[in-house]
A and B are shown apart, each in its own frame.
Chain A
Amino acid sequence: QLQLQESGPGLVKPSETLSLTCTVSGGSISSSNYYWGWIRQPPGKGLEWIGSIYYSGNTYYNPSLKSRVTISLDASKNQFSLRLSSVTAADTAVYYCAGSLSFDYWGQGALVTVSS
């Protein structure tokens, strides 16, 4: 049973870069069975897919965020990470990491507030 846990700063200043890490336990992040993703949810709103990375390192991003997003994988630490640059207040949300093709497994979520 996979377990995922997000970590990172809860407050980011406008125009700066948001960085979050997802630590995976209960399985290897580089297993061919797995596909990893980041999803966010602004307060009171619905889910938005940010992007995903396969065990091979191939990445896919939401076209609306593509120019600002980087997702990477660190097999040695069993972690994958999200970087979102040039943030604004509109990027304030709970950020979830999730695993497996149907997002079977989710972290508890990390609230990131963009404010000066």
Chain B
Amino acid sequence: QSALTQPASVSGSPGQSITISCTGTSSDVGAYNYVSWYQQHPGKAPKLMIYDVSNRPSGVSNRFSGSKSGNTASLTISGLQAEDEADYYCGSHTTSNSVVFGGGTKLTVL
């Protein structure tokens, strides 16, 4: 199985919005609505930010939103804050009962 494709880096200024894409295939992202997004700060464990494409766990800011079109999922962060600077990973269940992650995107808040 191949990793999902994410941009290596994105950046934005405080208050702006950014979008991170996650491209897979019809066997993973496009197959089910089981796409998740994780935030990881240096030296910390990943934290679930979005599940099932567009749902936010309790306690996650509504500045984070997710969507999907075909084989590409997207994470949008609005009203960027300094604390949002981190690595972001998408993940998807696949038609072969496995899980595949994206390569990760480093978000820099300018």
Report whether A49 and B98 are in contact in the complex, using a CB–CB cutoff of 8 Å: yes
Report whether A48 and B45 are in contact in the complex, using a CB–CB cutoff of 8 Å: no
Q: How many A-B residue pairs have CB under 8 A?
A: 55
3 closest A-B pairs by beta carbon, nearest first, are: A102-B51, A49-B99, A106-B45
* A52 on the B face (CB < 8 A): yes
- Bound together, the chains give a CA A102 to CA B1 distance in angstroms of 19
How many of chain A's residues have a CB under 8 angstroms from any CB in B?
A: 21
Flag A46-60 by CB within 8 Å of B: 1 or 0 each.
Answer: 111100100000001
Residues of chain B within 8 A (CB-CB) of A107 are 45
Residues of chain B within 8 A (CB-CB) of A63 are 1, 96, 98
- Of B11-19, B67-75, B78-86, B101-109, the segment with at least 4 beta carbons within 8 Å of chain A is B101-109
- Bound together, the chains give a CA A87 to CA B100 distance in angstroms of 22
Residues of chain A within 8 A (CB-CB) of B1 are 62-64
Report whether A102 and B104 are in contact in the complex, using a CB–CB cutoff of 8 Å: no
Known: A47-B46, A104-B51; 18 extra A-B contacts, CB below 8 A, are: A46-B3, A46-B89, A46-B101, A46-B104, A47-B104, A60-B98, A62-B98, A96-B45, A101-B93, A102-B36, A102-B52, A102-B91, A103-B38, A103-B48, A104-B48, A104-B57, A106-B46, A107-B45
Which A residues lie at the B interface, using CB under 8 A? 37, 39, 46-49, 52, 60-64, 96, 101-104, 106-109
Report whether B45 and A47 are in contact in the complex, using a CB–CB cutoff of 8 Å: no
A24 to chain B, nearest CB (A): 15
Residues of chain A within 8 A (CB-CB) of B89 are 46-47
Residues of chain A within 8 A (CB-CB) of B99 are 37, 49, 52
- Bound together, the chains give a CA A39 to CA B101 distance in angstroms of 10
Identity of the chain A residue whose Cβ is nearest the Cβ of B51 in the assembled complex: A102
- Bound together, the chains give a CA A62 to CA B96 distance in angstroms of 10
